[in-house]
Amino acid sequence: MFVHDIVITRVSVVTGANKGLGLETSRKLASNGITVIVTARNEKNGTDAVEKLKASGLSDVVFHPLDVKDPASIDSLINNAGQNGTELNMELVASVLDEAGMLKGVTISTYEMAVDCLNTNYFGTKKVTEALLPLLQLSKSARIVNVTSYYGLLIVKTELSDTDNLSEEKIEEIVQWFLKDFKEDTLKANGWPLTISAYKVSKAAINAYTKLMAKKHPNILINCVHPGYVQTDITYGTGPLTPEEGARAPVMVALLPDNGPSGRYFHEMQEAAYYLMHICDLKILELSYLIESLKQFHV
Ligand SMILES: NC(=O)c1ccc[n+]([C@@H]2O[C@H](COP(=O)([O-])OP(=O)(O)OC[C@H]3O[C@@H](n4cnc5c(N)ncnc54)[C@H](OP(=O)(O)O)[C@@H]3O)[C@@H](O)[C@H]2O)c1
């Protein structure tokens, strides 16, 4: 856009952009004429990603090292970096793969992995957001897109859904309570999710944080988006969507018009109410994803 001979370029920062959804989100944003700061915690992986983007004809892409747990270090910020807080139990993998190659889901998770997951997905997102807020506030059309998961819709603790009484301290208190229970092996007794639990809590915390920040910063469109179930490393390559397909939703939310919504949850390409789920609703949603995945394999 030209205003009085000044070229106005939109700039986006994408975290965890070296692969998966982050890389494809960067590609789509750059294809839309946006300068993209591709960030990654590993310098070599980040510069390789930029080379890939440049090789496909995109020039306005630059690398910047960024570990969201330690942001040393704009118009939009795509908080994409994430970990699932589990690891595959390789001994069991063979026995849980069905003929179609579908993973029936056996993962192991240690306390250290849970801490790392929360530090990346929740505290990392928060730190990067806080660090970039002063720059975002200079933009006339600032956006923050928090890449979340439908797992974050699970009611992990009702306090997280109580928007009127929510505060950053309250969210942190709940996250620390979860980690304490994880360490003391009291997740079940205190009603926390038992599988992929750190990931679910981290995304529920991100959803709550999104609502809180949107309320605090009415001049910025701050939303969270579930990209779909996408074949990336975090899902061990399972899921019906390719990373290119999965990146459509975060990009759409990053490019919302100035009068667009804020403080909302997008389920893939649809703006959805912050409907909250009990564990049985989550199971139904997971079943629908499983059916979608099976269709992919023509089963
Ligand atoms: N795939 C899905 O079905 C799905 C569904 C819902 C939500 N999501 C969310 O989508 C986002 C992207 O995940 P993905 O599916 O693209 O998985 P992915 O391919 O595993 O990518 C995760 C990215 O996060 C980066 N990362 C992890 N810890 C980091 C840290 N401390 N600092 C900076 N970057 C870090 C990884 O970098 P390294 O390469 O250095 O590890 C990688 O670039 C995540 O937030 C995930 O929770 C994914």
Q: What are phi and psi of 87, to 5 degrees?
A: -145, 150
pLDDT of res. 282? 64
Closest-CA residue, ligand 1 atom 37, reads 16
Would you say 17 and 52 are in contact if contact means Cβ atoms under 8 Å apart?
Answer: no
> What Å distances lie between residue 62 and 1, 8, 35, 81, 110, CA to CA?
21, 17, 8, 17, 36
Please identify, by atom number, the ligand 1 atom nearest to the C-alpha of residue 67. Answer: 32
Ligand 1 geometric centre to CA of 22 (Å): 7
What's the CA gap between 284 and 149, in Å, rounded? 15
Ligand 1 geometric centre to CA of 121 (Å): 9
Closest-CA residue, ligand 1 atom 7, reads 149
What's the CA gap between 99 and 91, in Å, rounded? 17
Beta strand 6-7 with 270-272 is unpaired
Mutate to test the pocket of ligand 1, among 147, 224, 234 (most ligand atoms within 8 A of CB): 234
Which tokens hold the place of 266? 């997008």
Mutate to test the pocket of ligand 1, among 44, 50, 73, 80 (most ligand atoms within 8 A of CB): 80
Which tokens hold the place of 81? 């970096």
Mutate to test the pocket of ligand 1, among 52, 83, 292 (most ligand atoms within 8 A of CB): 83
Query: Which one is catalytic: 122, 199, 209, 265?
Result: 199
pLDDT of res. 283? 65
Write out residues in the chain with pLDDT < 70, as ranges: 1-8, 71-76, 88-107, 273-299
DSSP helix/strand/coil, 168: helix
Closest-CA residue, ligand 1 atom 43, reads 16
- Please give all residues whose beta carbon lies within 6 A of any atom in ligand 1, as ranges: 15-16, 18-22, 40-42, 45, 67-69, 80-83, 120, 124, 147, 149, 226-227, 229-230, 232-235, 239
List strand residue ranges (DSSP E) for the chain, in order. 2-3, 6-7, 11-14, 35-40, 61-65, 76-79, 87-88, 107-108, 143-147, 221-226, 265-267, 270-272
pLDDT of res. 299? 44
pLDDT of res. 236? 81
Which is it for the CA torsion 184, 185, 190, 195, positive or negative?
positive
Q: Where does residue 205 fall: left (phi above 0), alpha (psi -120 to 50 degrees), or beta otherwise?
A: alpha
Closest-CA residue, ligand 1 atom 46, reads 82
Task: Verify whether residue 151 is a known catalytic residue.
Answer: no
Ligand 1 geometric centre to CA of 73 (Å): 20
Bridge partners of residue 8, in order along the sequence: none
pLDDT of res. 43? 94
> What Å distances lie between residue 213 and 10, 127, 207, CA to CA?
22, 13, 10
8 exposed, middle or buried (CB, 10 Å; 0-12, 13-18, 19+)? exposed
pLDDT of res. 33? 94
Ligand 1 geometric centre to CA of 46 (Å): 13
Q: In what order do the strands lie in the sheet with 35-40?
A: 61-65, 35-40, 11-14, 76-79, 143-147, 221-226, 265-267, 270-272
Ligand 1 geometric centre to CA of 94 (Å): 25
Taking each helix axis as running N to C, give the angle between helix 20-31 and helix 43-55, from 0 to 180 degrees, rounded to the nearest 10: 40
Other C-beta atoms lying within 10 Å of the C-beta of residue 142: 21
